[in-house]
Amino acid sequence: MIRAAAATDKSHDTEVVVIGAGIGGLCAGALLAKYGKKVTVVEAHDVPGGAAHSWHRDGFTFESGPSLYSGMSRWPTTNPCGQVLHALDEPLECVYYNTWMCHLPEGSFLTEVGNDQFIDVLEKYVDDVDGINAADEWRRLKELMKPLAGASAALPPSAVRTDPFAAVTLARFVPGLLKAAPVLPEIMAPYSKFLDKNEIKHPFIRNWMEVLCFLLSGAPATGTLAAEIGYMFDDWYRPNSTLEFPVGGSEAIVGALVRGLEKNGGRLMLKSRVEEILVTNGRASGIKLRGGAVINASAAVISNATVWDTLPMLPEAAKAGEHCGEDEAKRSATREWVKKCEDTEMCESFMHLHLGIDASGLPDDLEIHHIYVEDWSAGVTAPQNMVLVSIASVLDPSLAPEGKHVIHAYTPGNEPLDIWDGLDRNSDEYKRLKEERSQVLWRAVEKAIPDVRKRVEMSFVGTPLTQKRFQRRHRGTYGGTGWITPETDTVPITTASTPIDGLLCVGDSNFPGPGVPSVAAHGWSAAHELTSFWEQCKMLDKVAP
């Protein structure tokens, strides 16, 4: 378990202060420390990790966030988080596997990554529709995806800058970018356009791709960049590809980032809630913590809080652009940025079911991951329609006492926010709703372990209000969505910088695609806003595959 003692006197001077020890904030902070910056990361919770934090009860390790990983430990990798760990010289011990269970309207079956076993599944479980054979369509789709997969891997986030020196850091990738040029417009458009253009019509294949889009981006194919699916195909459907589970769970990733921060001179302060972002002489100059401590930051303030939680920390005058003095263009840009943050579409939230169970008599080959869909016609984004189940102790027995299993079931970003707004967590109404909305989670777990209710020794149900409380996320949202603009079917350029000098924002509310790879990529972006191009070039020699 990662813990840091509260500082006796939290007030101090630093170069960069990071608000929030989520994956994005830790990546940015640890990389900047590696680049030689003096960095302090502050976190309101008593453990780091944000949406990826975990907690412990009676020998069980319960994880609040992601459970599906790849490209984190083996080198080379195109996973931005794997690249950060490599940059920090923090190897991650993982267990490798390539299977997961699917419980779909067509039936329950095992599928694999890294080979063509999915073809066998399609031939056994999925019927032809209007003369279209699902296996044949999948083979065709895999061939069509090869150029997109190559293009998605052509430019690592570690190479990106937003100043003229980008020409230097990007130079080594020009051959790959030129090769990818014909499909670059396609990877920066909705994946649904790619499916439509190539006449992918079999209902099951379309539904399966909707599942993968939603797992990666929290949005359907109409709101998912083709680049994200290209990355996934490159990572999952190459011959002999595997998935990875970190020994110790998500806490191991968080721990590696914290070590990377601290061994390079950075500082982590837990139980340190930010009340205000200080703006002095037109720029973000530090933060004030609850209790009055002040941390001055000479270079930058990076907020890993959501944009909706960041705005209330800013002085009203700064949000109105008054810090810009007579520079009307900058005043206007600041007001526009505030409006954009306020209007950013929120992804819905999660329901969580955490169980510690007796594993006596359960099969040794029980799968770690199970995907459950109740009704294709409702759509994967429909509330209560899709559930992910992770039985992490199957691969890492250290996460549960001997003879036990720990289970995390969750609805992945499809739990409505509005039905929970304003509820008192101690009220009977809240308890009834919690019980009602958790039943789909139980149904999903029962697909994997039919008698699970008899085995339960410990159980917790989490709601959007739980996320709001422990992760300090506005309304308990999963992050941002709606990145693709209907007018152009493209994603706007999103950087960590803001019109307020010295203030950067990272994380899933300010960068397309919630999830570990995306927020790690944004961590790279923030670090390179504050790093010289020659330091970045030296790092590229180390991390660019």
What the chain holds in terms of domains, given with CATH numbers, is 12-57+250-343+481-543 (3.50.50.60), 119-231 (no CATH), 347-476 (no CATH)
What whole-number distance in Å separates Cα of residue 444 and Cα of residue 218?
A: 19
As beta bridge partners, residue 420 has none
- Torsional sign, CA 517, 420, 468, 276: positive
Tokens of 49: 């990790």
Full-model pTM:
0.95
Q: How far is CA 204 from CA 14, 196, 420, 439, 517, in A?
A: 54, 15, 33, 26, 27
Residues of the chain under the 50 pLDDT cut = 3-8
The Cβ-side half-sphere exposure at 408, using a 13 Å CA radius, reads 23
Q: What is the pLDDT of residue 172?
A: 84
Q: What is the pLDDT of residue 182?
A: 87
Q: What is the pLDDT of residue 314?
A: 97
* SS3 state at 364: coil
Q: Phi, psi (5° rounding) for residue 360? A: -55, 130
Contact 41, 268 (CB under 8 A): yes
What whole-number distance in Å separates Cα of residue 222 and Cα of residue 191?
A: 6
Determine the residue type at 379.
Answer: G
Q: What is the pLDDT of residue 535?
A: 94
Q: How far is CA 331 from CA 256, 337, 341, 503, in A?
A: 40, 10, 16, 15
Q: What is the pLDDT of residue 260?
A: 98
What whole-number distance in Å separates Cα of residue 444 and Cα of residue 129?
A: 28
Q: What is the pLDDT of residue 155?
A: 78
Q: What is the pLDDT of residue 6?
A: 46
Is the backbone of residue 462 left (phi > 0), alpha (psi -120 to 50) or beta? beta
